Amino acid sequence: MKDLMEVKGLILEIMGRPEARRLVSEIRDGGGPQQLYCRAYRMGPHRKSDDLRDPAEIESHREKEPIVRMHQHLDEGLKCS
């Protein structure tokens, strides 16, 4: 396996990125197995007593939350049809 490719973001957005397209192309060209590591932000705490994150940090990630963004993406698609 070659170098690990790490990206952040919603999977639909990631698959359109040049890095992901290159990775898929290498696999299809017989380059062997590859790994695409997609990072996600943990919105909730493991336990309420151990969440020491700044509320502003959590809120900034809430705006980028994949489920909300996917919902918006689907809504926009429905408006176009």
The pTM score is 0.47
Residue where the block lists tokens 């176009």 = 80
Range of lowest pLDDT (1-5, 11-15, 24-28, 46-50): 1-5
pLDDT at 30: 92
Residue 53: partners with Cβ closer than 8 Å, 6 or more residues away = 45
CA separation (Å) from 45 to 54, 58, 64, 80?
12, 10, 17, 37
pLDDT tens digits, residue range 23-68? Answer: 888 888 998 888 777 677 788 888 877 788 898 988 888 877 777 7
